[in-house]
Every structure is written in C-alpha cells, then in structure tokens.
C-alpha cells in the first residue's frame, strides 16, 4: 500500500462524520431560531463552518510535533489579546469580551481554552514525574492557567474562567500526584471558594447563582432566561413541536436563542428524542477523543486529546445545565450548535488537533 493510502486509512473518519453531523444539526436549528430574531443566522453559521472545516483540515495536515514549537508564541499572543480586551475591548451587555476588528468581532477568551490545553500539554511533555507531581511542581501550572483566568474574570466572564479551571483540572487528573499534593489542592480549593464568592464575582453573577436556590426569585430579572428556557425544553415533551413550530423563540420570550440557549430551541422543536440524539453526538466525539489519547504516540498528544475531550464535555455540561436551570447563566455556548464565529473556529481547530494526533499515532 502506498504512503498516501496508509495515511487515508489512518484518518479518523468517525470523528469527521460526527463533526459534520453536529454542523448539520446546528444549521437546521438556527434556521428555525431565525424566525424569532429576523436575522439569517444559519447563513452566517454556514460560512463560519465552511471556514472552520478548512481550519480543521489545515491543522490536521501539519505534524503536531511541528505545531508544538509554536505553542509558546500562541500562548503569549492570546494573553496579549486578553490584555487588549480589557483596554480597548468592545462592551457588550456590560462586559468587555470582544476585540472589534472592524469587519469582525473576535473573542480571545475562546482561544484561551486552546492556549491552556496546548501549553499544559507541552509542560507535561517536558516535565515528566513518574513518581507523581508535588505541589511545588504545580506552581508553573498554576501560573500558566492563572494568568488567563485572572484576565478573563476581569472582563468579567465567569463562564470562560470556569472553563479554563475545569479543563486544566481534567488534564491534571490525567497525571499522578503525591498524596500531600492532592490534600493541598483540596484545602486550597476550599479556601478559594468563599474568597471567590466575596471578591471575585460581580453582584449580577451572585444573583444568577442565587436564582438556582430559589427558582422563583426575580423571575422577571436575573431568572428570566432560565425560566423561559425551562418552559421551552419542557414543552417539547417526547418528540417536539416540529421544525419551526416552537413558540418560545417565535414569540420572543427566549433571548439569545441562537447562542447561549440554542439547545432550548432544539429541545422545544425536536423534543427529548432530538436532545438525546444531540447528546449522543457529543458523547461520540468525547469518547473518540479519549480513544485518541490512549493511542497517542507521546505525552503531548495524549494531553491535548484529554484537554479537547474536557473542552467539549464541560461546555456541554455548563450550557445544558444553564438551559435546564441546574447551573447559573454564564454565557458558555454549546460547541458548534451555538451561533458564533470565534467559538466555531475554536472547536474546529480542536477537532483538527484530534485528527492530527490520531493520524500520527504510529510511524508511517
């Protein structure tokens, strides 16, 4: 068999199929939600995904060991862009999360997820500890993750701050630790939680969390999104109302139905069955990513796959928890289903990294 034929045989076609299926569901769902907004979000999303698929293919084509050399430069670039957001960022709904490039709005906090995944993977590759990591070993990790987290929480953006925390925590769980290090991490977490509540969160963020304790509280204010989202999901029942037949979006009752609450629109129109099929696609992507991690040829590749799996998993958990009013509204989008160029391209690059590492799991 030729070199080209061997390469084709090593491509993870299942992952590509799952990504394309998710793209199709997104376009179909956004076509419906456009009725309540008057904008053709599905057409814009089609363009975003077309560019994203090109990015995915480009990232998959270049040996990830060559890309690894560019990781420090990428990390520094993302951190600088996060600093720029705080200085000259565009204010949307009271938060500075976007850099206005004139022709396009760019959200650096999305790329921060990739920067943390790649940077931590590189650090673990260069600093192996077969006997387990100690707290002292993890100081550089805390700095690498803490710098972008600090910048993002000051935008303020609680959702992406938590995403960086959960992704890095998942990657740390892929390694062995000294017992004292585990106890130390637990104690620091218990100390940090009340400090974060008191000094790290804004008043409106506390209100959103308190809304979970009493779902009736401020239903016309901070609890409005969650209340309307639950109505949309519940009214879909088993099979849904049908494409374009949802009333929450069409009636304008559910804000951000094309971004943060895209799943609520899907659940209302496609029902429990449609939501379950979507979860099946996400589960397939996550399991495939973990399979690639197990077959990766080095620690860098393994950690990147685990990081990408964590990215998809935690975004799904946080977004769907928000939609079902089980978690506070944090603005975390649903991977590829929600509208948005930066978020789509970030996930597509992550999928390209998975394909890259799977393709090069053995020597040609």
Q: What is the pLDDT of residues 298-355, one digit of tens each?
A: 999 999 999 999 999 999 999 998 888 777 777 788 999 998 889 999 999 999 999 9
Instruction: Show the 3-state SS of the chain.
Output: CCHHHHHHHHCCHHHHHHHHHHHHHHHHHHHHHHHHHCCCHHHHHHHHHHHHHHHHHHHHHCCHHHHHHHHHHHHHHHHHHHHHHHHHCEEECCEEEEEECCCCEECHHHHHHHHHHHHHHHHHHHCCCCCCECCCCCHHHHHHHHHHHHHHHCCCCHHHHHHHHHHHHHHHCCCCECHHHHHHHHHHHHHHHHHHHHHHCCHHHHHHHHHHHCCCCCCCCCCHHHHHHHHHHHHHCCCCCCCCCCHHHHCCCCCCCCCCCHHHHHHHHHHHHHHHHHHHHHHHHHHHHHHHHHHCCCHHHHHHHHHHHHHHHHHHHHHHHHHCCCCCCCCCCCCCCCCCHHHHHHHHHHHHHHHHHHHCCCCC
**What's the pLDDT tens digit per position in 117-133?**
999 999 999 988 887 88
Q: Are 63 and 297 in contact (CB under 8 A)?
A: no
Residue 246 belongs to a domain = yes
Count other Cβ atoms within 10 Å, centred on residue 247.
15
Output the pLDDT for position 286: 97
Give the domain extent around 327. 6-359
Residue 73 belongs to a domain = yes
Say what the pTM is: 0.88
In the structure encoding, which two tokens stand for residue 203, read together?
Answer: 């008043």
Residue 1 belongs to a domain = no
Output the pLDDT for position 364: 42
Tally the domains of the chain.
1
Q: Are 193 and 185 in contact (CB under 8 A)?
A: no
Q: Please give the chain's pLDDT, 364 residues, in tens.
A: 455 456 676 889 999 999 999 999 999 998 887 765 667 888 889 999 999 999 999 999 999 989 999 999 999 999 999 999 999 888 776 677 888 777 677 889 999 999 999 999 999 999 888 878 888 888 888 899 999 999 998 888 888 998 999 999 899 888 887 767 666 667 766 676 666 656 566 665 565 555 555 545 445 444 566 677 777 777 778 888 888 777 776 656 676 677 788 888 888 888 899 999 999 999 999 999 999 999 999 999 999 999 999 999 999 999 998 888 777 777 788 999 998 889 999 999 999 999 999 998 864 4
Residue 219 belongs to a domain = yes
Residue 98 belongs to a domain = yes
Output the pLDDT for position 193: 64
Residue 109 belongs to a domain = yes
Output the pLDDT for position 1: 47
Output the pLDDT for position 98: 80
Residue 315 belongs to a domain = yes
Output the pLDDT for position 202: 61
Residue 276 belongs to a domain = yes
């Amino acid at each position: 068999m030729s070199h080209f034929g061997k390469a084709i045989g090593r491509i993870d076609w299942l992952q590509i199929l799952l990504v394309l299926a998710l793209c199709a569901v997104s376009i179909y769902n956004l076509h419906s939600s456009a009725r309540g907004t008057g904008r053709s979000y599905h057409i814009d999303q089609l363009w975003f995904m077309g560019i994203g698929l090109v990015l995915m293919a480009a990232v998959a084509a270049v040996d990830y060991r060559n890309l690894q050399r560019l990781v420090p430069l990428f990390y520094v670039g993302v951190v600088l862009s996060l600093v720029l957001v705080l200085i000259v960022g565009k204010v949307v709904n009271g938060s500075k999360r976007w850099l206005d490039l004139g022709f396009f709005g760019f959200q650096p906090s999305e790329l921060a997820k990739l920067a943390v995944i790649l940077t931590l993977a590189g650090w673990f590759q260069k600093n192996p500890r077969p006997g387990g990591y100690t707290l002292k070993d993890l100081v550089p990790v805390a700095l690498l993750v803490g710098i972008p987290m600090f910048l993002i929480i000051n935008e303020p953006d609680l959702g992406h701050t938590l995403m960086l925390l959960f992704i890095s925590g998942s990657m740390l769980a892929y390694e062995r630790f000294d017992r004292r290090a585990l106890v130390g991490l637990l104690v620091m977490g218990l100390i940090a939680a009340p400090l974060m509540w008191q000094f790290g969160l804004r008043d409106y963020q506390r209100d959103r969390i308190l809304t979970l304790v009493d779902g009736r509280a401020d239903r016309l204010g901070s609890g409005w999104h969650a209340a309307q989202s639950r109505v949309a999901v519940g009214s879909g029942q088993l099979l849904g109302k049908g494409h374009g037949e949802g009333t929450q979006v069409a009636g304008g009752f559910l804000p951000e139905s094309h971004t943060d609450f895209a799943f609520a629109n899907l659940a209302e129109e496609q029902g429990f069955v449609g939501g379950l099929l979507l979860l099946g696609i996400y589960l397939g992507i996550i399991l495939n990513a973990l399979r690639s991690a197990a077959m990766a040829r080095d620690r860098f590749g393994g950690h990147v796959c685990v990081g990408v799996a964590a990215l998809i998993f935690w975004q799904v958990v946080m977004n769907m928890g928000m939609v079902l009013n089980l978690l506070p509204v944090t603005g975390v989008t649903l991977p590829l289903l929600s509208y948005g160029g930066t978020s789509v391209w970030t996930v597509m690059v992550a999928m390209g990294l998975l394909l890259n590492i799977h393709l090069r799991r053995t020597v040609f």
